[in-house]
Amino acid sequence: MSQRLVELEVLRFNPETDAEPTFQRYAVECPEEWVVLDALNHIKETVDPTLSYRWSCHMAVCGSCGMMINGEPKLSCKSFLRDYEGVIRVEPLAHFPIQRDLVTVIDDFVTKLKRVKPYLVAGEARPVEAGEYRQTPAQLKTYKQYTLCINCMLCYAACPEYGLEPKFIGPAAISLAHRYNLDSRDAGREARQQEIAATEGVWECSFVGACSEVCPEHVDPAGALQQVKIKSTLDWFREHLMPWRRT
């Protein structure tokens, strides 16, 4: 296993003791095949037990370990040292308050997620005895991509609109709302749509697509936003121009 001396420059901030964030340098020998998270774990074990960050699965599925790595939002468990040269700069995800070191406060997303009603709203009650809903592979495919969101917050850190307008409900929450809207078993679109249309930002989204670019699961939030916007526009026309078509 080839080893390499890796230098990391990590943002440190402890609200109890620090007035403002500073950068701390660590240099550690690491196997070439490691990810940035492995290097952080190695530092925590052998150099500095006070360094704080979140992680759990080490397989890009729990969504805990998002960080800015050389200025880009990344999952540190899937960012390979081999892809970086020179000093690697590690910071907490942009656009979120820092709780401590690389740990951010994500309350905002958690509140917003709940607001878009990310659960199936059944048209009529279906008892378990009636068995499963039928849903063809084609129907599944229409929304499947949007179910893959791991809530890692990389898209919020990449979104210029969220940076400017914190009330913007944001890419992940919209994708998840869209996921249920597209589900053949769901009848809750109306309620979700109202919630989304009523919030700031959707209309300002400039579709630069940064969210989709950084998404580690290829969810394509920008695509979801676009479709939500078109749907909302159609709704508006239906409401205002063609009142006789209202159901």
Number of residues interacting with other proteins: please give it, by CB under 8 A: 66
Among 30, 40, 90, 150, binds other proteins (CB under 8 A): 150
Picking from 102, 95, 101, the residue whose alpha carbon sits closest to that of residue 159 is 95
Among 78, 229, 231, 238, binds other proteins (CB under 8 A): 78
Q: Which of ligand FES, other proteins, none does 11 bind, CB closer than 5 to 8 A by kind? A: none
Tell me the angle at which helices 221-240 and 171-181 cross, rounded to the nearest 10 degrees. 60
Q: Residue 103's binding partner, choosing from other proteins, ligand FES, none, with beta-carbon cut-off 5 to 8 A by kind?
A: other proteins
Number of residues that bind ligand FES (CB under 6 A): 12
Minimum distance of ligand FES from residue 76's CB (angstroms): 6
* Residue span 45-64 as binding mask against ligand FES, x where in contact by CB under 6 A, dash where not: ----------xxxx-xxxxx
- 80 contacts other proteins (rule: CB under 8 A): yes
x-marked contacts with ligand FES along 67-106 as a string, rule CB under 6 A: --------x-x-----------------------------
Contacts of 64 (CB under 8 A, 6+ apart): 54, 55, 56, 57, 152
Task: Find the part of the chain contacting other proteins (CB under 8 A) among 85-93, 94-102, 196-204, 229-237.
Answer: 94-102
Binding mask 194-213 for other proteins (x = CB under 8 A): --------------------
Tokens (6 digits) for 70: 């050389």
Q: Which is nearer to ligand FES, 165 or 217 (CB)?
A: 217
Q: CB of 50: closest distance to other proteins in angstroms?
A: 4
User: Which of other proteins, ligand FES, none sits in contact with 75, Cβ below 5 to 8 A by type?
Assistant: ligand FES
Report if residue 128 touches other proteins, rule: CB under 8 A: yes
Applying CB under 8 A, among 8, 10, 26, 53 the residue interacting with other proteins is: 53
* 151 binding partner (options other proteins, ligand FES, none; Cβ < 5 to 8 Å by kind): other proteins
Residues 6 or more apart in contact with residue 166 via CB below 8 angstroms: 95, 108
Residue 210: both structure tokens together:
């940064």
Binding site for ligand FES (CB under 6 A): 55-58, 60-65, 75, 77
